[in-house]
Amino acid sequence: MRNFSKSKRVVIKLGTNILSATRTADKAATLTTNGGIDSEYVVKMAGQVNSLLKMGKQVVIVTSGAIGMGAGQLKLSNKPGDVRMRQACAAIGQPMLMAEYRKAFEQFGVTVAQVLLTAEVLNNRKTYLNLQNSIETLLKLGVVPVLNENDSISTAEIGTAFGDNDRLSALVASKIDADLLIILTDIDALYDKDPKKHADAKPIDTVFEITEEILKSAGSKGSKFSTGGMKTKIEAAKVASNAGCKIVLANGKAENVIERIIAGETIGTLFLPKRKLSNRERWILNSTPAGVINIDDGAIRAVKNKKSLLPSGIKSIEGTFEAGEVIWLNNKAKAVTNFSSAELETLAGKHSTEIRKLLGPKRRDVVAIPEDIVFVDY
Ligand code: GLU
């Protein structure tokens, strides 16, 4: 179902939690050698980004970790709460962070560029256009822009901060017309309940619409070193989704996670771009399908062009369902079927004129009408 082959411009957001080396036993040593960043991880991630570049995609990275690295360098055990200390830590940590990116990408012959942002830069039309020009130019040159908030000069106290890099990444993805925003964190997916509190919490594969309920399902804050929790990630997903961007939230530590996401593997949670839906379409999308009707390419093309689904295009049926239930069409669209699975077994491949002959009078002459077919990805 997931298909990112057409996603040309990808923004990848890397959180402090996944960039930090485990702060365990040899804490002091880790912190003094490289400020606490997991250099090996950055190299692996750079390799995956390089694969995307080779596929012809453009990649922008939004990174956290400046304040954390600065705090590590100063041997502080916590990310400082005090504004001035945070500013100082960011000034210390940001060049260290960039050095890690530069070193890692160099191994693949890829050049990185640092771009530091404040909320003011994005809000002001002139500076925003300058930003857009420089990012476009860097991308054309095959360079990977690495963005972060300019924490040394922007603070929440003077209203110039983004608050967290989740929001920053969503705003950037929206403003540069990215097709896909990948938010990498230390949680596998969005769950239907807070997984830290409920053992039976289930991961959600796809969010068709970011509703109040989804926002409420988000758990609390992340670690002491990161700013954003699940809530800020969903709020960020909402911003990007409103701008027509797809968002995948996944565990950044999963093996080859970036390449697997791009290959279409169902990993993490996919948030689809916002679109106008009728109440019925919304109901169809949010229903769990009772089975699958496998249809041929011609039928897929027809229903995509707002035609009804006819029995002649049906190849096979999976599952047992009743007329009126929501089913999958090839895992591509959800639809309300006018016939039960047993009836469809009889009808598969037949011409519409045979429906009444086979099933008796007063039967519908199509399997599903266009209004009852909603493509999940579009
Ligand atoms: N800009 C901050 C940093 O680089 C991180 C903010 C966040 O994690 O959301 O340390």
Give, to the nearest 10 degrees, the angle between helix 66-73 and helix 83-106.
Answer: 100
Dist. CA 325–CA 344, nearest whole Å: 13
333, 372 Cβ separation under 8 angstroms: no
pLDDT tens, position by position, 326-363: 999 998 899 999 999 999 999 999 999 889 888 888 88
Could you tell me the two tokens for 62?
């939004």
Is it the case that residue 88 has pLDDT exceeding 50? yes
From the alpha carbon of 167, which atom of ligand 1 is closest?
A: 9
| CA angle (292 as vertex; 288, 296 as ends), nearest 5 | 140
Interatomic CA distance for residues 307 and 100, integer angstroms: 54
Calculate how far, in angstroms, residue 65's C-alpha sits from the geometric centre of ligand 1. Answer: 6
Q: Are 64 and 148 in contact (CB under 8 A)?
A: yes
CA distance 145 to 111: 9
Out of 18, 63, 64, mutate this one to test ligand 1's pocket (max ligand atoms within 8 Å of CB): namely: 64
Tell me the average pLDDT across 41-47. Answer: 97
Strand order across the 314-318 sheet: 314-318, 292-295, 326-329, 333-336, 373-375
| Both structure tokens of 117 | 């942002």
- Relative to the CA of 164, which ligand 1 atom is closest? 9
pLDDT given for residue 32 in this prediction: 39
Q: Which amino acid is at 332?
A: K
Mean pLDDT across the chain, nearest whole number? Answer: 89
The pLDDT of residue 35 is above 70: no
The whole-number average pLDDT for the span 260-270 is: 95
Q: For 295-330, write each residue's pLDDT tens digit.
A: 999 999 999 999 999 999 999 999 999 999 999 999
CA 163 – CA 157 distance, rounded (Å)? 10
Confidence band, pLDDT 50/70/90 cuts, at residue 224 = very low
Give the model's confidence band at 27: pLDDT under 50 very low, under 70 low, under 90 confident, else very high. very low
**Whose Cα sits closest to atom 5 in ligand 1?**
64
Q: pLDDT confidence of 29, banded at 50, 70, 90?
A: very low
pLDDT of residue 222: 46
Instruction: Return the percentage of the chain with pLDDT > 70, whole number.
Output: 91
Q: Is the pLDDT of residue 225 over 70?
A: no
pLDDT at 226 over 60: no
The radius of gyration of the chain from alpha carbons, rounded to an integer in Å, stands at 24
Residues 68, 85 contacting (CB under 8 angstroms):
no
Choices 3.30.200.20, 3.40.1160.10, 3.20.20.140, 1.10.1040.10: CATH for 9-277: 3.40.1160.10
What spacing in Å lies between the alpha carbon of 226 and ligand 1's midpoint? Answer: 7
From 19, 153, 227, 235, the mutation candidate for ligand 1 (largest count of ligand atoms within 8 A of CB) is: 227
Span from the CA of 64 to the centroid of ligand 1 (angstroms): 4
Maximum Cα interatomic distance, the chain, rounded to a whole number of Å = 82
Ligand 1 center to 67 CA (angstroms): 7
- Residue 220's pLDDT is 52
Pocket of ligand 1 (CB under 6 A): 15-16, 64-68, 148-149, 151, 164-165, 226-228
Q: Does domain 289-375 have CATH number 2.30.130.10?
A: yes
Q: What is the mean predicted confidence (pLDDT) over 33-54? A: 90
Residue whose C-alpha is closest to residue 160's, from 170, 150, 169: 150
Higher-pLDDT residue of 278, 222: 278
CA of 188 to the centre of ligand 1 (A): 20
pLDDT at residue 223 above 50? no
Nearest by Cα to 289 from 205, 370, 215: 205
Name the more confident of 23 and 161: 161
pTM of the model: 0.82
Atom of ligand 1 nearest to the CA of 165: 9
What residues contact 44, with CB distance under 8 A and at least 6 apart? none
- Rounded CA gap, 32 and 153, in Å? 25
Question: Domain extents for the chain?
Answer: 9-277, 289-375
The lowest-confidence range among 11-20, 167-176, 280-289 is 280-289
Distance from CA of residue 176 to its chain's centroid?
16
CA–CA separation, 40 vs 104, rounded Å? Answer: 8
Distance 164 CA to ligand 1 centre (A): 6
Q: Point out the ligand 1 atom lying closest to the alpha carbon of residue 68.
A: 10
Best residue among 67, 89, 118 to mutate for probing ligand 1's pocket (most ligand atoms within 8 Å of CB) is 67
Ligand 1: centre distance to CA 16 (Å) = 7
Most confident of 40-49, 155-164, 362-371: 40-49
